[in-house]
Structure 1
Amino acid sequence: MTDDTPRTGGSQGYLRIATEEAWATQDLFDAWDRKMAEPGADPGFVGLAGFYTASQAERPQNIKRRLLDLGEERIADMDATGIDRQLLLLTAPGVQVLDTAEGVALARSTNDVLADAIRRHPDRFSGLAAIAPQDPAAAAEELRRGVTELGLSGAVVNSHTQGRYLSDQEYWPIFEAAEALDVPIYIHPTGLPKDMIRPFQEAGLDGAIYGFGVETGLHLLRIITAGVFDRFPKLRIVVGHAGEALPFWLFRLDHMHAATVRAQRYESMKPIKRTISEYMRENVYITTSGMAWEPAIRFCQDVLGADRVLYAMDYPYQYEVDEVRTHDNLGVDAATKKALYQTNAERVFGLGSR
């Protein structure tokens, strides 16, 4: 019997860089516990964080243990699935659910922990800075510190911040900093905001099964239609899960956006310089996290360009060696497969140059 377990080291013609890999600290879990104990705690936050902090079921316990490990177990899991490097993102909901001062302070301390792990394992880990959009100026400054002092490769924002979105202009100093530093912002899902969650939660559809993608896709669309890329034309944004379904909607998005602008139906929707699909092809990158399905991956490569699609595992939430095999066996040429796994990630996140 042939052993087809993926191996690290690049013998297949590419390194495997996984670009949406979650981690956490005990300090973060403790802060969530305190926040959940407050009266009127946000139900989306409680539904997400409470499951991983309090449930005794096997899956959340295994995930929590792996989130906290930035050493031996994580690297062993990478070796077992052929992953050469992880790009580490502070797991949702991150620091964005906390009061402003605590969120700013915890973003800084977790970034220090991340930078230390990368120094200890420079050939295996890279990472994105956590920021607290609750204070946009402090978030922009922490992004600058993360990149210029800690060697991080951009920022992660776990979608909405207490029901508010980066499309609101008060948050644009974060985009200004990212563009000036020439680093991307990764927008990752989180628990749904309290004014959105009820019909999803009552059907059990609020999490990764559907609600996460709906809400994060909404966030990216808000950014595009608000004119963010017109103001910051070199800004790069990354989203996971095959683009949170937006690539499959591009025709309708372009058509209905143009029609809505012409009708002047909404004060908030103004003309923008390009179509939504053009911004998706010029300013947005997507990863395959949680979507190890060849038809979806190939479609995204076809409509966005093979240089826009990056591999991700979504460790430890989806940790399956068969999903690596699916990517290895894609019916694409060698150059496209190397771009998917390695060179796109190196280019977008500046890996090896920081």
Structure 2
Amino acid sequence: MTEFDPQAPLTTGGQHGYLRIATEEAWATQELMDEWRRMIEAGEGGTGFHSLIGHYVTSDSDRARFVREHLVDSGERRIAHMDAAGVDHAILALTSPGTQAFGADVGTRIARNANDELAEAIKKHPTRFSGLAAVSFEDVPAAVAELERAVNELGLKGLIVNSHIRGRYLSEQEFWPILEAVEALDVPLYLHPNTPNDSMIGTLYEAGLDGSVFGFQVETSMHALKMITSGVFDRFPKLRMVLGHMGEALPFWLYRLDYMHGGMVKAGRYPAIKPLQRTISEYVRENIWITTSGMPAPEPILFSRKVLGDDRVMYAMDYPYNYEPDEVRMQDALPLSLPEKKAFFQDIALDVFDLDENVIRGA
């Protein structure tokens, strides 16, 4: 096992045997930030929105200032931080709650403008950035059209969904044409956290646990499970989904999820729980990839690789919310062979997001 060395140099270029591709890196347009600020000042949005965005837009804390200043950067400042952390390439996506705080008209406009702006940043820095498309889920036909434009014309590599859609979930069949388009385009859906919706946030908010410390994981893992148990992956068996933060803890629950789901199906206890073609753990292992965003410790990484498969776990940083170069060093020191580290940092991301290694290397 390589010992963690806090003084180890971090360099880009892959001379150590692999490129580091960060697969969950947050970004925002100024238009989005301005609209969020307007909502906060007008008292719009729910408890979760004000807890999350109200903090990052208005707080004078060092961390909040760092986040809001660097979210809107898709140029030299972000690249300088990538260089300092040895990150070769970042997959950028509209930060939570993205367009999902708005109705269809505002959300559609912001999504289209964001996709254009992101594509332009990628064009300027093709070796450093790729990106995921944003859509407004409130207008399903418009969302499908924008996703197709973003992938086919702009070259974006997947779809970001910042979990619940003002309290609604992709398990609802109204949204399934969007999932059908994702599957047909053969790009991944990245299911990213949001603060819990207002019908579930109460006790978490009172305890200060509604955000990334715990509430994000609770809400997003529930969203993923709702998608599985509603039959999304039976209807769209080739749909590929990515979960951050070590799979939002799902790898640790697979046995119990299978056992309890099977018992509920037999008992007919809940109308929403129907028989599925596969077990929950099979859907997680076969349709879902996970990233290490904000979860750099070796124990959960190694456990998740064991239960999901070595080809299902890939590197992410979660910049600018998590910008800790020592976390890169921690993952460099994982007790893996060089080919295994190359897959973890580089090859799985190349495959899942259909990235061109030659482009990243500037070849």
The question of whether the paired residues in 2 share the 8 Å contact of 1:238 and 1:285 is answered with: yes
TM-score (norm 1): 0.98
Match of 1:184 among 188, 204, 208: 188
Match of 2:122 among 114, 118, 123: 118
Note the C-alpha offset of 1:3: 5.2
Match of 1:72 among 73, 76, 94: 76
Query: What residue identity is the alignment partner of 2:316?
Result: A
Q: Which whole-Å CA distance do the structure 2 matches of 1:76 and 1:38 have between them?
A: 36
The question of whether the paired residues in 1 share the 8 Å contact of 2:135 and 2:147 is answered with: yes
Note the C-alpha offset of 1:245: 0.2
Q: Which whole-Å CA distance do the structure 1 matches of 2:6 and 2:87 have between them?
A: 20
The 5-angstrom pairing of residues 216-295 of structure 1 reads 216-295=220-299
Match of 1:5 among 4, 9, 12: 9
Matched, 1:52 2:56: yes
Matched, 1:81 2:106: no
Partner residue in 2 for 1:346: 350
Q: Which whole-Å CA distance do the structure 2 matches of 1:38 and 1:197 have between them?
A: 21
Q: Which whole-Å CA distance do the structure 2 matches of 1:174 and 1:40 have between them?
A: 27
Q: Which whole-Å CA distance do the structure 1 matches of 2:42 and 2:274 have between them?
A: 40
The question of whether the paired residues in 1 share the 8 Å contact of 2:45 and 2:101 is answered with: no
Distance 1:257 1:112, change over 3 A: same
Q: Which whole-Å CA distance do the structure 2 matches of 1:298 and 1:338 have between them?
A: 15
The 5-angstrom pairing of residues 32-43 of structure 1 reads 32-39=36-43, 41-43=45-47
Note the C-alpha offset of 1:39: 4.8
The 5-angstrom pairing of residues 288-303 of structure 1 reads 288-303=292-307
Partner residue in 1 for 2:216: 212
Matched, 1:335 2:350: no
Partner residue in 1 for 2:111: 107
117-126 or 35-44, which deviates more: 35-44
SS at match of 1:87: strand
Give ranges in structure 2 of 5+ residues lacking alignment.
none
Distance 1:52 1:236, change over 3 A: same
Partner residue in 1 for 2:317: 313
Note the C-alpha offset of 1:263: 0.5
Note the C-alpha offset of 1:112: 0.4
51-60 or 212-221, which deviates more: 51-60
1:160-199 superposed Cα distances (whole Å, 9 cap, x missing partner): 0000000000000111001100000001001210011111
SS at match of 1:301: helix
Q: Which whole-Å CA distance do the structure 2 matches of 1:320 and 1:282 have between them?
A: 31
SS at match of 1:347: helix
Matched, 1:198 2:197: no
Q: Which whole-Å CA distance do the structure 2 matches of 1:21 and 1:39 have between them?
A: 29
Q: Identity of aligned pairs, percent?
A: 55
Give ranges in structure 1 of 5+ residues lacking alignment.
none
Note the C-alpha offset of 1:2: 10
The question of whether the paired residues in 2 share the 8 Å contact of 1:5 and 1:80 is answered with: no
The question of whether the paired residues in 2 share the 8 Å contact of 1:184 and 1:348 is answered with: yes
Query: What residue identity is the alignment partner of 2:248?
Result: E
1:28-55 superposed Cα distances (whole Å, 9 cap, x missing partner): 0111122234455311011111111111
Q: Which whole-Å CA distance do the structure 2 matches of 1:203 and 1:155 have between them?
A: 32
SS at match of 1:265: coil
39-48 or 234-243, which deviates more: 39-48
RMSD of Structure 2 on Structure 1 (CA): 1.4
1:114-147 superposed Cα distances (whole Å, 9 cap, x missing partner): 0000000000000000111111221121111110
SS at match of 1:260: helix
SS at match of 2:100: coil
The question of whether the paired residues in 2 share the 8 Å contact of 1:8 and 1:84 is answered with: yes
Q: Which whole-Å CA distance do the structure 1 matches of 2:141 and 2:252 have between them?
A: 35
Q: Which whole-Å CA distance do the structure 2 matches of 1:259 and 1:40 have between them?
A: 42
Q: Which whole-Å CA distance do the structure 1 matches of 2:95 and 2:43 have between them?
A: 24
Q: Which whole-Å CA distance do the structure 2 matches of 1:285 and 1:2 have between them?
A: 29
Query: What residue identity is the alignment partner of 1:294?
Result: P
SS at match of 2:262: helix
How many residue pairs match? The answer is 354
Note the C-alpha offset of 1:113: 0.4
The question of whether the paired residues in 1 share the 8 Å contact of 2:240 and 2:288 is answered with: yes
1:9-64 superposed Cα distances (whole Å, 9 cap, x missing partner): 00111000000000111110111122234455311011111111111111101111
